């Protein structure tokens, strides 16, 4: 099971772009990279998933370099409501995404 | 159309009592997960069910913890002889891994906050 490493916390200001990088040096060939967002008193919520290069949806972008040993979640123009904990997971087949780790606590300030 | 639901939302119990936590997954989802989250911490995997396969119980912290999934749908997590260190939020998630590779997105319920006095 691929282990992930993320910064414990990050601070930003409203309107800025935020990039959170996750390291996953022992990612397997079949593994995908998935990011979740968790607000206080709620369960985590799926944000984005990718395998390689770049994925973009209405919420975020995910950048994955060619070696896939890391990935960067990019949140454009954050607002106060983006204050949350962001988790990076690596896996793909059923049952492999079992280790969430500590996540990155993002604080967006006015 | 409904998401994952859990009950109760809050449970306060006395040390030594047994508790049962319920999870109703999204209809049609074959995979079901239980996690535990202590205050300010990440998620700790407890147990995983997939279809009719034997559950992956590798995350259960002790034999006081058990879970079952009836009819491939509803799941119950049971904690016997609760201890104060069992106090946490217990989260359930379901997914539909048979949809294809890399699509094992987990959908989480709101959790049950367990407080053991």
* Assigned domain for A3 exists: no
Q: What is the pLDDT of residue B56?
A: 87
Residue A47: pLDDT over 70: yes
* Assigned domain for A1 exists: no
* Assigned domain for A75 exists: yes
Looking at chain A, the whole-number percentage of residues with pLDDT higher than 90 is 70
Peptide bond into A71 cis (omega under 30): no
What are the start-end ranges of the H helices in A1-110? Answer: none
pLDDT digits (tens, 9 = 90+) for A10-30: 999 999 999 999 999 988 888
Total domains present in chain A: 1
DSSP per-residue string spanning B11-57: EEE-TT--EEEEEEPPTT--EEEEEEE-TT--EEEEEEEETTSPPB-
* Assigned domain for A2 exists: no
CB A100 to CB B48 under 8 A?
no
Contacts of B43 in chain A (CB under 8 A): 44, 87, 100
Q: What is the pLDDT of residue B43?
A: 86
* Assigned domain for A4 exists: no
Give the whole-angstrom CA distance, residue B114 versus residue B13.
Answer: 8
Structural domain of residue A23, as residue ranges?
A: 9-109
Measured between CB atoms, which of B59, B104, B108 is closest to A97? B104
Cα-flanking dihedrals φ and ψ of residue A43, to 5°? -75, 160
CB A95 to CB B50 under 8 A?
yes
* Assigned domain for A69 exists: yes
* Assigned domain for A48 exists: yes
* Beta pairing partners, B58: none
* Assigned domain for A20 exists: yes
Q: How far is B33 from chain A (nearest CA, A)?
A: 8
At A67, is the secondary structure helix, strand, or coil? coil
pLDDT digits (tens, 9 = 90+) for B80-95: 999 999 999 999 999 8
Q: Give the CATH number for residue A46.
A: 2.60.40.10
Q: How far is A85 from chain B (nearest CA, A)?
A: 9
């Amino acid at each position: 099971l691929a282990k992930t490493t993320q910064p414990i916390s990050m601070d930003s200001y409203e309107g800025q772009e935020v990039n959170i990088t996750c390291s996953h040096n022992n990612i397997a060939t079949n593994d995908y990279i998935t990011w979740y967002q968790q607000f206080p008193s709620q369960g985590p919520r799926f944000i984005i998933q990718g395998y390689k290069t770049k994925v973009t949806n209405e919420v975020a972008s995910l950048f994955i370099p060619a070696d896939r040993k890391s990935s960067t979640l990019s949140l454009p123009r954050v607002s106060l409501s983006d204050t949350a904990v962001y988790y990076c997971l690596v896996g793909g087949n059923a049952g492999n995404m079992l280790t969430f780790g500590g996540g990155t606590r993002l604080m967006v300030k006015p | 159309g409904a998401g994952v639901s859990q009950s109760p939302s809050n449970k306060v119990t006395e040390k030594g009592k047994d508790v049962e936590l319920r999870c109703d997954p999204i209809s049609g989802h074959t995979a079901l997960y239980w996690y535990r989250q202590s205050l300010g911490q990440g998620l700790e995997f407890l147990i995983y069910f997939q279809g009719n396969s034997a559950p992956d119980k590798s995350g259960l912290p002790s034999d006081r913890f058990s879970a079952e999934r009836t009819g491939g749908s509803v799941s119950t997590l049971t904690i016997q002889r609760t201890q104060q260190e069992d106090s946490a939020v217990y989260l359930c998630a379901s997914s539909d891994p048979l949809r294809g590779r890399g699509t094992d997105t987990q959908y989480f319920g709101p959790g049950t906050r367990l407080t053991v006095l």
